[in-house]
Amino acid sequence: MNWSKYKNIATNGVLKNNPIFRLVLGTCPTLALTGSALNAFGMGLAVTFILTLSNTFISLLRKVIPDEVRIPAYVLIIATLVTIIRMLLEKYIPVLFESFGVYLPLIVVNCIILGRAEGFANKNPIFDSALDGFFTGIGCTLAMGLMGIVREFLGAGSFFGMQLMDFRIEFFTSAAGAFFVYGMFIAIFNAAYKAIENKINKKNFALHLEELSIKENN
């Protein structure tokens, strides 16, 4: 087992290449469905499910699908998975199905899914691709969920539908509020990411200098 490789895939999906805050992909459902935490997490989980399976199938068929028709083939596979999710949600969680509205079928053309299919799954083995899909989906779920919690709390005074306070700022439930919260999160996430990266780089540089001085002394 190559743990460092899997660790790398996980950190890439959740932090380094977080699709929402770092790559700014899937913006449309992010802005539209983060008005409530439940919708945001629900959408995130739907994307995770589809991303994991689409990466798995695309990786499985990567040697069979000719390069010339890879995009229509990916769209066929992704559309099938999205339709399955639609059927399952309509049957078992109709509340979530209704609240997703048009954004559920639009997952077919979600850049995150097509991006991972094109950028990772068609070049890597099945297990690695499935892991990449799963962790990218988790990164997406966490990002959307965080935005959903903040927007719901400030805009409706509730947390996952539970009313916590009467005070509310309607702006946060509007489209403009969605853009504002999204921008703030991107700024905070990237600032924190850069700070951590700088700290790690400094630490590595100090270790490197130490190694050099030991070599010189010897």
Partner 1 sequence: MTFKEFLKSKTFKCIIVLTTIALVCGGLLAILNDVLYISEEEKTQKAIKKIYGKDMEYTVVQIDEQDKTNKYGQIEAIYAFKDGNYLIQATGIDGYQSGTITAWVVAEFKDGKFNGLNSVSEASNEKQTLMSKFNKDFVNVYVNKDREGVINGKYFNLYDSDKEIGNISSGATKSTNAYNNAVNCALYYIREKLDGGK
Torsion, Cα of 110, 134, 142, 39 (10° steps): 60
Which among 112, 82, 100 is positioned nearest to 20, based on CA atoms? 112
Which among 69, 185, 57 is positioned nearest to 129, based on CA atoms? 57
* Closer by beta carbon to partner 1, 24 or else 69: 69
Among 9, 77, 107, 147, binds partner 1 (CB under 8 A): 77
Segment interacting with partner 1 (CB under 8 A) among 68-76, 116-124, 136-144, 188-196: 68-76
Secondary structure of 150-173 in the HEC alphabet? Answer: HHHHHHHCEECCEECCCCCCHHHH
Among 66, 162, 166, 214, binds partner 1 (CB under 8 A): 66
Cα distances from 134 to residues 41, 53, 120, 210, in angstroms, run 15, 9, 12, 39
Segment interacting with partner 1 (CB under 8 A) among 40-48, 78-86, 116-124, 167-175: 78-86
Kindly state the number of chain residues that form the binding site for partner 1, as judged by CB under 8 A. 19
Among 24, 84, 200, 209, binds partner 1 (CB under 8 A): 84
Cβ 83 to partner 1, closest distance in Å?
6
Which among 39, 23, 97 is positioned nearest to 31, based on CA atoms? 39
What 8-state DSSP symbol labels residue 194?
H
Segment interacting with partner 1 (CB under 8 A) among 81-89, 105-113, 160-168, 187-195: 81-89
Residues 160, 162: Cα–Cα separation, whole Å: 6
Cβ 67 to partner 1, closest distance in Å?
9
Cβ 173 to partner 1, closest distance in Å?
11
Torsion, Cα of 159, 162, 164, 169 (10° steps): 60
Among 80, 158, 173, 174, binds partner 1 (CB under 8 A): 80
Sites of contact with partner 1 (CB under 8 A): 61, 64-66, 68-69, 72-73, 76-77, 79-80, 83-84, 87-88, 90-91, 94
